Structure 1
Amino acid sequence: MKRSWKEMKGMIKTEEIKDTGETEEMEVKEIEEMKRTRKTEETKDIGETKELEESENLEDNPGKCSKCQNNIERNWCRPCNAKRFQNEFGKWTSEDREIDEFIQQIQLNANKRQEIIEWIPFEKLENITYLTKGGFGTAYKAKWLDGPIYCWNYKVENWDRFGRKNVCLKSLDNSTNKFDFLQEINNQLKFRGKNTIAIYGITKNLTKNEYMIVMKYAEYGSLRNMLNNKFEELNWQDKHNILLEVVMGLINIHKMGLMHKDFHSGNIVNQSLRLSYITDFGLCKPVTENNTENIYGVIPYMAPETLSRGEYTQASDIYSFGMVMLEVLTSYPPYYNIPHDENLVIKICKGLKPEIKCEIPQFLKEIMEKCWNFERLERPTAAELRSQLEKYRYERNEIRREVNNQVQVANRSNKNFIQYDPNEMHPEAIYTSRLISKLTIPECDTYNSRQQLFSIPDNIIVKDEENETQETECKFNRN
């Protein structure tokens, strides 16, 4: 059930951000990557240079606020800064009362600069260029002239900012209402600094009369884009690290009692080769909210129970993660060479698994195939995935030797491996989220009668290699 705007506003007022150090941990990772990149590339943005220099000292810097003498950490006094934000409420407006109140409540409750969002006037954005169109919106790259707030400057009585900064603008389709727009932002703000992309604020394109989310710009684009362009530069350890970063983000989503519901490589972005963030929380919902009427997603990443019954669970996110694993480990997206239509849906519901195009170290292959389990209760949780991935990362002696042996076997086997070429994608393969027609499956033999999840008739015939098609009893209910 959807919460009303009043209920959501109350959540913003009362919900305290539970910071367990993950924000600082992500900052450390970002800085390590920035330092690594800086050795080979010149910093192109003055604001990014300043952000690096000012963030390299990651100590809490405890002290006292020179205004109220309260103890503060990281140059942030919540009571004083809340008053400063409040004093500025009359100086800006989105021209929408609910959006104004949404931003204001977040500012009043911010415990650190990473928790702020702002109203960003569109004229403060320049060099706006189209990036890509997804299932529910369009993304653009832009330069934010001011950049995010860093801290309050007591000498000049104004905010210090990071300065010019690349950002991503996301406009949502006209079909998305204001509640959904704010709900997506609110969901994403719950995971600030926790392996999810940062949101800086909201703006409005006056020409198109549409509101847009202003987010951190990921230099390498989507995970899918990064793999298409940089896969050859990744070794097995890099791939392992990417998967661990992604699963950490999934853990944080699931710990909040939520499910992503649209988890695929297009909704993961990379700041660098090894630093990944989860994004696009438009479908993210509590596990108690399960609308089985409308099924959205990317078919190859959707679990059988979702395709057949519209059933979304955290376990269906895990199935999707298994498909992301396949893509990270092999460069090949699942089912890239066939149409993404009802025939594929039927095959997935009958137990079809994607082809593994190269040799994978056995320990990673076993983890991946557990995620693909037809029985959702047999899939690992996100926390279990982390434990399994970290086990092979940190263990020594026999386990480490076995992992090294598996890696060497894979490397020898893959000497003539041909990386995925996007030009080979089938013209009817669709990797953007969309409304999926719901499948009605009669009661009869199952993929695995022991599991008895749902029934699929044995006499289903789909297009064979000679393109001969016979009648099928399974029909799609067109929404």
Structure 2
Amino acid sequence: MNNNNVNNFYEYELLTQRYGLCTECKQPNTSEKWCKECNSKRLQQNFGNWTSGNEYVDKFIQESQLKARSYNELLEWVPYTQLRNIQYFAKGGFSTIYSGIWLDGHIDYWNYEKQDWNRRVYKLEEKFHEEANNPNIKNPLESNIEYGRPIVLKSLDYSSDINEDFLNEWKVHLQCQYELESSNPHHIFHVVYAKPSVFFYDLLQKQMVFSFQLVQKNPQSVNDCCRSSLSVLTSCLTFLSYHG
């Protein structure tokens, strides 16, 4: 048995002991409730149902979905219409921070009974419905919505051009995410880039906004949020689009 076979054998045994076997293909899961091979096929089948309008962004997201060994490595193209209660939170350095609610939340795992993705959402507190009455709120939360994911949006200044070089820098952060997951599984963030005009002005023409989203459940203070934003190596990526 050569070294490659030995390494593959031990990796197989380690993954099996840690995460169990996939319900579908009976191979070891690559993370908790996550099979890379089966989930990448599901995600690939959906490629034709979305586009960012930018070939580099599409390729970047698709590559992450094909290679994701856990939901923390997974990127999604999320409509801006999925966001509620967007409001200014803090300003500092080269970024502006907003708070908000993501209605669907991120993909968590494949539900075999429902034959659909389970997404991470929470029962929303009454305070979020009260905040919706604030005239400074963008996309106020509707009274009949009970679930969503409280988030923080970090808008990076001076990053209006998203190209292949810009996106390649974030591949490093995504690679680090998987390695750090096992030691700190609850410290998960999504880093956001968005044009500030989206949140402050009524846009008369359609535009696309490519966004990195820093997601944190119920941030307690500006300091907490800023400390979180420094943890770039523990961040994964979500893209948002806005259609005016």
Residue aligning to 1:220: 220
How far 1:115 moved relative to its partner? Answer: 1.3
Cα pair distance change 1:104/1:83, threshold 3 Å: same
Distance 1:77 1:178 in 2: 31
* 1:168 correspondence with 2:152: yes
Letter in 1 for 2:44: Q
- Aligned counterpart for 1:110 among listed residues 49, 55, 68: 68
Residue aligning to 2:190: 199
CA offsets 1:125-176 (integer angstroms, 9 cap, x no match): 1111111223323221110111111111112221011122112222232455
- Aligned counterpart for 1:279 among listed residues 229, 232, 235: 232
Cα pair distance change 1:184/1:268, threshold 3 Å: farther
Residue aligning to 1:96: 54
How far 1:201 moved relative to its partner? Answer: 7.8
- Aligned counterpart for 2:170 among listed residues 153, 163, 185: 185
Letter in 1 for 2:232: T
How far 1:268 moved relative to its partner? Answer: 2.4
Residue aligning to 2:127: none
Residue pair 1:124, 1:145 contacting (<8 A) in 2 also: yes
State the structure with bigger RCO (CA 8 A, min sep 6), 1 or 2: 2
3-state DSSP of counterpart to 2:212? strand
3-state DSSP of counterpart to 2:176? coil
The farther-off stretch of 147-156 and 132-141 is: 132-141
* 1:71 correspondence with 2:24: no
The 5-angstrom pairing of residues 201-350 of structure 1 reads 205=198, 207=203, 209-217=208-216, 219-222=219-222, 225-226=223-224, 268-269=227-228, 278-279=231-232
Residue aligning to 1:308: none
For structure 1, the residue ranges without an aligned partner over 5 or more in a row are 1-58, 227-265, 271-276, 282-479
The 5-angstrom pairing of residues 17-32 of structure 1 reads none
Cα pair distance change 1:203/1:91, threshold 3 Å: farther
3-state DSSP of counterpart to 1:268? helix
The farther-off stretch of 170-179 and 131-140 is: 170-179
How far 1:188 moved relative to its partner? Answer: 2.9
3-state DSSP of counterpart to 2:177? coil
How far 1:209 moved relative to its partner? Answer: 4.7
CA offsets 1:86-129 (integer angstroms, 9 cap, x no match): 01111111111111111110111011112112111101111111
* 1:157 correspondence with 2:111: no
Pairs aligned (count): 175
TM-score (norm 1): 0.33
How far 1:200 moved relative to its partner? Answer: 7.4
More helix, by proportion: 1
Residue pair 2:156, 2:194 contacting (<8 A) in 1 also: no
* 1:131 correspondence with 2:89: yes
CA offsets 1:197-251 (integer angstroms, 9 cap, x no match): 52278888594753221122261345xx25xxxxxxxxxxxxxxxxxxxxxxxxx
CA offsets 1:360-397 (integer angstroms, 9 cap, x no match): xxxxxxxxxxxxxxxxxxxxxxxxxxxxxxxxxxxxxx
CA offsets 1:409-432 (integer angstroms, 9 cap, x no match): xxxxxxxxxxxxxxxxxxxxxxxx
Cα pair distance change 1:102/1:198, threshold 3 Å: same
TM-score (norm 2): 0.60
Distance 2:193 2:38 in 1: 23
Distance 2:18 2:111 in 1: 18
Residue pair 2:36, 2:68 contacting (<8 A) in 1 also: yes
Cα pair distance change 1:70/1:175, threshold 3 Å: closer
Of structures 1 and 2, the larger Rg is shown by 1
Residue aligning to 1:148: 106
For structure 2, the residue ranges without an aligned partner over 5 or more in a row are 1-16, 122-147, 235-244
Residue pair 2:191, 2:215 contacting (<8 A) in 1 also: yes
Residue aligning to 1:378: none
Question: RMSD value over aligned CA atoms?
Answer: 3.2
Residue pair 2:94, 2:156 contacting (<8 A) in 1 also: yes
